[in-house]
């Protein structure tokens, strides 16, 4: 029998095997813990945007902010009506455009309400905004922004969701602007009434197309509003 420091070779191999298993379990648990923390922080960010929306609508006579640019990566950030500028003061922070002009625009990894902690850099964009407003709401081709009294079922109408870094508006789609299911296959959504929910990417249609569900929809439901985003 081979002995190593008083232990047999078989005993040493057994200890090493058990140690490896325990290390793998610890690493997996730490990974799950970090993922849960990122998800919780993301939900917190969206909840803040939802609260800002409620206060904004009170001050604006029920109008929502503009969505920003649609299917293209955001490049125009100077319009004060866009959500990333108009809602920021309700969170006691500068408008996004002011941050950008001061060289303080959020970057990947920043602790910012503009940035989901689980978001990864997949493309090089000028503006790393990882939440997008519902692309159907307050479009710039409409004469005025969407108004809460026109919108059916605010509790099931999405206001904002996880999106690729670089887009100001989003909707489940096969296009590059699609809602992103980056939280264990789920995406976080804040609704027009301010509450936040998590949904499986397949349930929403992430990467495929708008898959309207009873508890979450994206189109406004306003008669005659037949606009469709294109890739």
Share of residues in the chain with pLDDT > 70 (%): 87
Say if 2 falls within a structural domain. no
pTM: 0.84
CA pair distance 131, 118, nearest whole angstrom: 12
**Max mean pLDDT range (1-10, 19-28, 170-179):** 170-179
What pLDDT is stored for residue 31 in this prediction? 46
> Average pLDDT, stretch 1-10?
59
Q: How many CA atoms lie within 13 A of 199 on its CB side?
A: 25
Number of domains in the chain: 1
Say if 164 falls within a structural domain. yes
Closest residue by Cα to residue 176 from 69, 94, 98: 69
Computed over every residue of the chain, the mean pLDDT equals 89
Say if 27 falls within a structural domain. yes
Say if 121 falls within a structural domain. yes
What pLDDT is stored for residue 160 in this prediction? 98
Confidence of residue 120 (pLDDT cuts 50, 70, 90): confident
Say if 222 falls within a structural domain. no
Query: Which own/partner pairs from 78-82 qualify as long-range (CB within 8 Å, at least 24 positions apart)?
Result: 81/145, 82/168
Per-residue pLDDT of 68-113, as tens digits, reads 999 999 999 999 999 999 999 999 999 999 999 999 999 888 999 9
> Average pLDDT, stretch 1-17?
64
Q: Which domain holds residue 13?
A: 8-204
> Average pLDDT, stretch 48-57?
98
Per-residue pLDDT of 132-150, as tens digits, reads 999 999 999 999 999 999 9
């Amino acid at each position: 029998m081979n002995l190593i420091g008083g232990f047999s070779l078989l005993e040493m191999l057994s200890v090493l095997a058990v140690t490896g298993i325990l290390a793998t379990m610890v690493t997996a648990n730490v990974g799950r813990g970090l993922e849960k923390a990122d998800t919780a922080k993301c939900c917190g960010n969206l909840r803040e945007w939802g609260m800002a929306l409620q206060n904004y609508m009170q001050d604006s006579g029920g109008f929502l902010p503009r969505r920003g640019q649609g299917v293209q990566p955001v490049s125009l950030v100077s319009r004060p009506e866009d959500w990333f500028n108009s809602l920021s003061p309700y969170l006691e922070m500068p408008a996004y455009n002011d941050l950008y002009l001061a060289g303080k625009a959020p970057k990947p990894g920043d602790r910012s309400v503009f940035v989901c902690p689980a978001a990864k850099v997949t493309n090089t964009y000028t503006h790393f905004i990882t939440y997008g407003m519902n692309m159907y709401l307050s479009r710039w081709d409409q004469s005025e922004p969407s108004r809460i009294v026109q919108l059916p079922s605010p509790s099931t109408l999405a206001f904002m969701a996880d999106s690729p870094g670089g887009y100001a508006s989003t909707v489940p789609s096969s296009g590059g602007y699609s809602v992103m299911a980056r939280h264990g296959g789920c995406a976080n959504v804040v609704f027009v009434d301010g509450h936040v929910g998590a949904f499986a990417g397949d349930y929403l249609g992430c990467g495929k197309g708008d898959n309207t569900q009873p508890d979450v929809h994206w189109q406004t439901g306003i008669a005659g509003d037949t606009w469709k985003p294109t890739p």
